[in-house]
Every structure is written in structure tokens, then in C-alpha cells.
A and B are shown apart, each in its own frame.
Chain A
Amino acid sequence: MPSSGVQDTQPVLELRGITKIFGPVVANKDVDFDLKAGEIHALVGENGAGKTTLMRILYGMYQPDGGTIVMDGRPVGFKKPMDAINHGIGMVHQHFMLVPGFTVAENVTLGAEPRRNGFFDHAAANDSLVEPMKRLGISLDPETVTGTLNVATQQKLEIIKVLYRGAKIIILDEPTAVLTPQETEELFVLLKTLANDGSSVIFISHKLREVFAVADRITVLRNGQTIQTFNAAQTDAASVVAAMTGRTDVNLGRVERTEPTDGTVLEVKGLETGKHGADAALKSISFSVRPGEVLGIAGVEGNGQSTLAETLIGIQPLDAGFIRLRDVELGGLNVAERRSKGLSYVAEDRHLEGIPLNGTVLEGISAGLIRRDSSPVGLGLAFPRTVRHWSTHMIKKYSIKTSGPGAKCSTLSGGNQQKIVMARELEDKPDCIILAQPTRGVDLGAIEFLYNQVAEATAAGCAVVLISADMDEILRLSDRVLVMYGGSIVAEQQTDATSREELGMYMVGAQTMKVGK
């Protein structure tokens, strides 16, 4: 339900004809946007549509090449974020700007500390939190060390921080990306409280369900231009998607797939690993995947999903347990050997692991073919005619938008980069493919295309392990869902027998069910 605090008066903020050019790229072109007091206004669009650029201009991080910013009827110019802050604009970044070792009070007051005799005034800092927390209806101990708080609470802390700085206009950049469904609901309640209080919220998102749950109005950007501003109550998701993509036939629902068949392709039992990096260690992970089945693995990031993916493909060693692919034990094999046994892998960090960012499309797409060259010295030609022809064919087959196989990967959009990865992995005709965050940063149109490719592979009997932090992705594509929490599997459900809310309970560890045999 939209908030009711909207006052039908002159807008508090207007962006008129904003234009911003980066080299050859026009990031914003004549963009108009306005914000009323007490309003939650969603800014939606595909990746690269210009949302972030627009907000950075508003926040004084970029200077516009054209257009004006008008606040309360007067044109203003922000040379740096501090100017925007002084005009009552606050921004909650996607990646939090908090010092983990500082207390809550220290983080909130950082940059505008209350002082006494030239020293940090602890008491005043603690007191200054009271008023913003009351407005939000939450309470936190100001002396808590920030690093010990969970992600959702840290986000609330970011909001307290902008309120402390006196913000009347709050920009939130993809705030729900790090939250579970329940935490998202809590955030929305909090935002509505703020709006009812007379503050205005700009909510940047590409998740339409959330946009409709919270926003009064929705402005759609596409290719750097304003397409349309909708009243949320008077429109539907289909119209907004059409405005975002320029197409009317985008499917946002369940992907059509054939039924899995009987048998076992991948069997994992008692998998244990040590701790690697920030992710959790695996604790006795067991599951199996049938031919043509998509097994979704849901969970808040950092609960062992990355470790699981890397252990399955062989980048990280396993301490105990076994991985069997069609009765072949993979545990002791390296990545290349596992791949030649029929395992494929789409890594979660596309720029680092998926493609050679400064390499060419040809170099990225043909890695699978070159891997099969088993000559011990490898002095033969890496890209013979057949490989180059094949790559041209793949560019056609996967509709990869690029000037050709010789183009640098970095010049392609996220969706087209991911098509390179998918083409490489699926054309290996694997028995089983591990997809880790396969559509992160990918446009809606390209997502649909990639899902259809996965569906085709499953129809041919390929088993899929789909690791995703995006609940929609899991619900749209998978047959069965496992939920990971703290390195263990805490729930297993058939996708059609569960709900977003139920999975959310398992994701935060509030509930556990007996899993495994």
C-alpha cells in the first residue's frame, strides 16, 4: 500500500532536462524527474538506463552537462556531496559506508561529530541518535560495535545517519539487494513511516514487486531518457516492464520447462570444507540432482553458497564427503578434469571469473574448446579457422551484440557478457551445470533469453544447480529449493509447494527443518 503522506503541492525537488555525457556514452539525456513532500518515488530501469548517474548528479558527485536542479522553486547547484547534504539530501548507498570497528554513535556522527573542547563528545553523540531513532520507530544501543550488527540493521543505521544530517530527501540505491523478504517488509514499513512524517524518498530498484509494494509514483528510465512517470495505483507491472524494456512480450513469470526424469546425475554427500575468505565453511552438505532438474539453492549471501559452487567445480578443496557425477567420483580431480567429465560452471563474479574483461570475445567464448587441446606442450594454433567460425556462429546463435569475435569483452553490456559465458558453458553439452548468480546485472530481456537457454539444456537432460540470492530467479526457474544458512542446508522444498515468505524464514535461520537422508 502506498503511503498516504503525499501532499499535492509544489514539488520539493525537480530535475529538469538533466544531461550527462561520459566520453561516447550519453548516460542521461534530457531527464525530468520531480519529487513531492511525503512521497515515495521509485526510479526504475534496466542496468545502464542512467538511474545511478542521475542520483549521483542529484547528490553532487557528478556535475551535469545540461539541465537544472530546482529545490523549493529555486535552482540549486551541487559541486560536492556536502552541498547536497546541506540542502537536506541524504543517500544510502548500495554498499554501506560504515566503519565496522566504530560504535553505532560514532558511525552516525562521522563527518559531523559533536565536539566539546575540541574532542569527540560521546554523550552528545549518543543523545543525537535518540530523535532519528524515534522517528523511525526503532531502538539501537549507541555503544554497539557496528561490525557485530546484521546487514539489515546496518542499513537502518545508514538511514539514521542521513536523518542525523537533517535529510528531508532520502535516496536509497537498490536497498533490498542485501535483504531477506522479511527484512524487506520491515524496510518498507520504515520508509512509509518516514514518508508519512513528511520526508520524501527516492527508491532505486529493478525489482518491480517491491516497487509496487512501496512506491506512490514510478518513473521509468531507458537508455538514459525518461520514458514515463506512472501513478503506482493506476498502473500494473506489465506497463512498467514495457516501458523499461521497450517490449511488450517480456515474460516475468515461471519459465516453461519439461519435467525432470528419474535417475541421479549429480550426487553430493557429506561435503565439508574449511573457511575460505568471507564466505561460510560447508557443513555436511548432501543433495542430489535428477536429469533435467533445476535445483535452486537460496540463501542470504555469505552462508556458504560461493564456497559450495567453488568446491563443486574444484577451485576449492574439500575436506570430507564426495561429489559424484554419473557415478564418477570428482573429489580428487582438478577443474579441467571435472569439466571433461561433464561438469560446467557459470561463476558468480562475471568480470573476474566469467570472462577475460580485457580479452576478446573470441578468447572468452572458446575457452572450452581450447581446454580440450591435450597436447603436452601446446604449441599448436589456439584459434584455428574452425574455432573462429564456431565463435562467429555462437555470436549469432546467442544473439550476442558485439562488433565481432575480436571485440574486447569490456565493451559489451552485462547481458551480452553473460551470454558469452552461457554459450561457452552450455555448448560444452554438460551433464550438469552449476549456475552461480547467473543473471546478476543482466537486463530483463537478456534474462529471459538466458532462462530459455537453460530450459533447453534441461530438456536435453542436463541437471542444473542454480545458486542465487535472487528469490524471483529461484521461484521462476527451479523445481526444488534448498536453503543454505551458516554453511548448512536448513530446508528443502518443492518450488510449487513453498512461498517467498516461508523460504525467507529459513534464510535467516529462524527455522530449520530436517533435511537429507
Chain B
Amino acid sequence: MSMNTPLKTVPQSKHSEVHSTASFARSLAKRIGPGVFTLAVGLVLAVTLIQAQGYQPLPTILAGLDYAIGDAPSIARTLAWGLPLFVATMGVALAYRSGMFNIGAEGQIYAGAMAAALTGAYIGPMFTGLHLFLCLAVSALTGGAVAAGLGWLRAVWNVDEVLSTLLSNYIIMLFCAYLATAPLRDPARQSGTTKAVHETAMFSELIPQTQLTSALFVVIVLCAATWWLSERSVTGYRWRMTGESSAFAAAVGINVRRSRIGSMTVSGALCGIAGALLVTASQGRFWTEIGTGIGWDAVLLAMIARARPLSAVVWVLVYSVMRSAARGIEQVSTVPSELSLILISGIIIAATARAGLFSRVAELKKILIRSEGK
């Protein structure tokens, strides 16, 4: 053991490029490997479930995939459904990175959707860019305020955020339902909805009949910004270190309270915007079932992606295709579209088990190699 031998230093300029390409390929393989594994588990699960219903698995799945990504309009439809989910998943992942388990995404989405619906319906009409900006901004503020409050409870009074965010869902969703069914109800409609928003508060369709709107660009910008904030910026460093070890963060002079409240606020703001997209890029008004559980989807997807923004984007894409394919499968068979939910749950369990499984396999390999060497 020679502690003091100086490190051999590789001349940076010459080798670094070759080295970095090789290591990039290796790290890519490392990242994709587990994803492929979990997808394979999902596929096996899907085959089993479809077989159990008495259908030919492969043609059924192919029919579903054709429905989801068969042609340009299908892809656009699939993507359109996924837009709010991208934003919400980014939001949840951001909070996870700083150690805040924000499972109040669903509630924050509802709050954002209500805020956007009211801003769109009661203010304006006005110049559409401004109106949309206003809707998204008010939703972000609403979702952000809710999450900031919950983050503050955790940071200052040490109220467990898992509990508080979970329960906040019910408070917010029921309050929004009350608003939509009583004081703010659209009297022209039977069910609990608010008034339709002005035309100027709606994103325009990019491809007709697909619901894919120019909100796509907003989503791309938000995903890129979240990635920068979380993985590259000084603030992101502080938040990540707080999540990694709050004791370390405190010892090196990072303001742990500020990190926690800050990351929760931005997380809530993103969820709020996701809610706004449900209104302004799709439904055109708030109604009591508007969220359809995408907040919960976001919580699960952020978990599978281990809170990394890039893999979160990939997983939301995969999940959107799965959702859409499951709907396609429902149309050609009696397999219910809840299939996608069962699959994603199975994948999460597989992903959780994977770490242990992989290290076991690696260990076995080493032992085999060693015994061959002897």
C-alpha cells in the first residue's frame, strides 16, 4: 500500500478526447443496459397478460404499437397526450434530486389547471401569446405557492413532506371540484366544469386532428431548462447536495432550508404548468376529472428515472407510447387499457430489483472468470 506515490497523470490534451469517447460509450451502455432490462421485463409481462386473455400476444402488441406510432398523426396524438406529463415528471424529478419526495404532483396539477382555466376564461380575450403566457404564469405561481408552502413546512417545522404532499392532493382536488361544481360552474353545462377559456388562451394545433399543439415548443424549452437547472447550474448543485446528504450540505455552507423550499417551489410551478397545458393545449376548460392521474404517473416515472432529467424524458416517451398502445390494444381485443398501468408498475418493481440482481450477476461472472483462470 503506497499512499504517497504520486498519481500517474495523463497529459490532458492528447488523450482526453479518445478517452472521453470510450468512457462515454461505456457510460451510455451502463445507462441503457438497465433500461433495456426493465423494458424486457415489461414486454414479458405484457405477453403474459395478453396471452391470459386468450389473444395472440405479438400481433396484438403490434396492432397496439401501430395505433400509437404507426404514422405521423398517430405519433402526434401520442406525443400530444404526453406533453403535460413531460413537464410534471420534470417537476417531480427536480424535487427528488434535493431529497424532497413531492408526491403532491396531482394536486399541484389540479391547482394549475384551475388557475389556467380561470385566467383563460375571465381575463381577456387578448393577444394570444400574452394570454397564454399569463395562463402559464398564473398556473406556475399557483402550483409553486402550494409546493412552497409544503416545502416550508418540511424545512422549518420538519413536517414529513411525504405525508403533507400526499394529503395536499385531496385538499386541492376536492377544493377545485367544489369550485367547478358550485361557485364557478358553467351554467350552460350539466357536469362540473368551469367556463370555456377564450380562443386566445388556447395553443394552436400543429397537425390538424391530432391535438398536437405548439405547446410542444414550450415543453421542450421547459425540459431543457430543468435539465440545466438541476444538473449543471450552481443552484442545482446546492439542491443535489442537499438531497445527497443534508449534513454535508450544511457543513459546507449550503443553506439547506433554502434548497428545500426552492426546489419544491420550482417543482410545484412545473406541475402547475402541466395542469395549465391540460386546459390550454387540450380541454379548453377545467373539469373535475381533468388530471386523470398524470400526477401519479409523474411520481412513478421520476422514480424509475432515478430523478435524472434526461432519463425522465426517455421514460415519459416510453410510457406515452405504452399508454397509447394499450388504448390501441383495447380497441382490437378485450385487454383493458389499464394494461399500461400494470406494466409500468411491473417495470418499477423490476427496476427496483434490478440493482441487486445486476450486482449478483457481476459477482457470479467474476467468480467464473477467476475459477477459469485457475
Contact = CB atoms under 8 A, between A and B. Distances in A.
Interface of A: 21, 23-24, 46, 222-223, 245-247, 313, 315, 334-336, 338-339, 345, 347, 349, 352-359, 363, 367-368, 370-371, 373, 375, 377-383, 392, 395-396, 399-401, 415, 424, 443, 445-446, 449
Contacts of A358: 244
Interface stretch (B248-256, B272-280, B316-324, B343-351): B248-256
Interface string B196-239: 00000000000000000000000000000000110011111110
A382 B362 contact: no
27 contacts: A222-B1, A223-B1, A245-B3, A315-B250, A335-B250, A336-B253, A336-B255, A338-B253, A356-B244, A356-B245, A363-B237, A367-B252, A367-B253, A367-B254, A370-B237, A371-B254, A377-B235, A378-B235, A378-B238, A381-B232, A381-B234, A382-B233, A382-B236, A392-B12, A445-B1, A445-B3, A446-B3
Contact of B248 (A313, A354, A377, A401): A354
Contacts of B29: none
Contacts of B229: 379
B271 to A, nearest CB: 21
Contact of B232 (A339, A382, A415): A382
A353 B249 CA distance: 7
Nearest to A345: B251
A315 B251 contact: yes
B160 interface: no
A95 B299 CA distance: 39
Interface in B324-374: 359, 362-363, 366-367, 370
A82 B238 CA distance: 48
B252 A399 contact: no
Contacts of A396: 6-7, 9
Q: Which of B2, B247, B251 has the most CB of A within 10 A?
A: B251
B5 interface: yes
Contact of B359 (A23, A352, A375, A378): A23
Contacts of A357: 244-245
A315 B234 CA distance: 22
A347 B251 contact: yes
Contacts of A378: 233-235, 238
B235 to A, nearest CB: 4
Contacts of B195: none
Nearest to A223: B1
Given A334-B255, A359-B240, A399-B7, A245 B235 contact: no
A405 to B, nearest CB: 12
A458 to B, nearest CB: 21
A353 B245 CA distance: 7
B4 interface: yes
Given A46-B1, A356-B248, A424-B252, 12 more contacts: A21-B366, A336-B255, A356-B241, A359-B244, A367-B252, A370-B237, A379-B229, A380-B234, A381-B234, A396-B7, A399-B4, A449-B4
Interface string B254-275: 1100000000000000000000
User: What is the predominant secondary structure among interface residues of chain B facing chain A?
Assistant: helix
B366 A24 contact: yes
**Contact size class for B?**
35 or more
Given A352-B247, A396-B6, A443-B3, A363 B241 contact: yes
Nearest to B23: A406
B234 to A, nearest CB: 4
A382 B7 contact: no
B228 to A, nearest CB: 8
Contacts of B252: 335, 339, 367-368, 371, 424
Contact of A371 (B228, B240, B253): B253
Nearest to B250: A315
The 9 closest A-B pairs by CB, nearest first: A445-B3, A336-B253, A378-B235, A378-B234, A367-B252, A382-B237, A356-B244, A353-B251, A335-B253
Contacts of A46: 1
A392 B247 CA distance: 25
A373 B9 CA distance: 30
A355 to B, nearest CB: 7
Contacts of B255: 334, 336
Nearest to B235: A378
Given A382-B232, A382-B237, A399 B247 contact: no
Nearest to A337: B253
Contacts of A339: 252-253
A443 B1 contact: yes
A338 B251 CA distance: 11
Contacts of A345: 251
Contacts of B245: 352-353, 356-357
A313 B362 contact: no
Q: Which of B3, B7, B236, B240 has the most CB of A within 10 A?
A: B3
B3 A449 contact: yes
Contacts of B363: 23
A288 B237 CA distance: 36
A355 B235 contact: no
B233 to A, nearest CB: 5
Contact of B254 (A247, A336, A347): A336
Contacts of A371: 252-254
Contacts of B232: 381-383
Contacts of B1: 46, 222-223, 245-246, 443, 445
Contacts of A395: 7
Given A336-B254, A378-B233, A353 B248 contact: yes
B1 to A, nearest CB: 6
A313 B254 CA distance: 13
A313 B251 contact: yes
Contacts of A356: 241, 244-245, 248
A21 B233 contact: no
B282 to A, nearest CB: 31
A307 to B, nearest CB: 14
Q: Which of B237, B245, B252 has the most CB of A within 10 A?
A: B252
Nearest to B367: A21
Contacts of B366: 21, 23-24
Contacts of A338: 253
Contacts of A24: 366
Nearest to A377: B235
A366 to B, nearest CB: 9
B247 A349 contact: yes
A354 B250 CA distance: 10
A357 B245 CA distance: 8
A315 B253 CA distance: 9
Nearest to A350: B248
B250 A375 contact: no
A389 B237 CA distance: 18
A189 to B, nearest CB: 34
A382 B233 CA distance: 5
Nearest to B242: A356
A76 to B, nearest CB: 24
Contacts of B250: 315, 335, 353
Interface string B101-124: 000000000000000000000000
A422 B311 CA distance: 35
Interface in B125-179: none
Nearest to B360: A23
Q: Which of B9, B234, B235 has the most CB of A within 10 A?
A: B234
Given A379-B229, A396-B7, A445 B234 contact: no
